[in-house]
Amino acid sequence: LFAHSLQRPTPIRRATICEPVGIRFSFPMTAAWFKKLSFVALAFAVVTLSTSLRADKPVWAGNNGGNANSGSNWTNTTNGQAPGNSDTAHIGNGSAAFAGNSTIGGLELTTDTGATSPGKLEGSGTVTFSGGGAGILSTWDSGEISFNTPSDGVVFETGVTLNISGAGNSHKFSGGSITNKGSSNWTDGSIDTSNGVSFSNNSGATFTNSFDGTISYDSATTRGTFVNSGNFTKSSGASNSQTEIQ
Query: For the purposes of burial, counting CB atoms within 10 Å of the CB of 156, is it exposed (0-12), middle (13-18) or buried (19 or more)?
Result: buried
How far is the C-alpha of 218 from the C-alpha of 193, rounded, in Å? 6
CA Rg, the chain, in Å? Answer: 27
What is the per-residue pLDDT for 35?
54
* Model pLDDT for residues 59-95, shown as the tens digit of each residue: 999 988 899 999 999 999 988 999 999 999 999 999 9
| CA distances (Å), origin 231, targets 83, 202, 205, 222, 234 | 31, 9, 6, 26, 10
Per-residue pLDDT at 160 exceeds 80: yes
Angle, CA of 214, 155 and 171, to the nearest 5°:
30
What is the per-residue pLDDT for 246?
82
Percent of the chain's residues with pLDDT above 70: 78
State which amino acid sits at residue 34.
F
How far is the C-alpha of 28 from the C-alpha of 38, rounded, in Å? 15
CB 207 within 8 A of CB 190: no
> Rounded mean pLDDT of the chain?
84
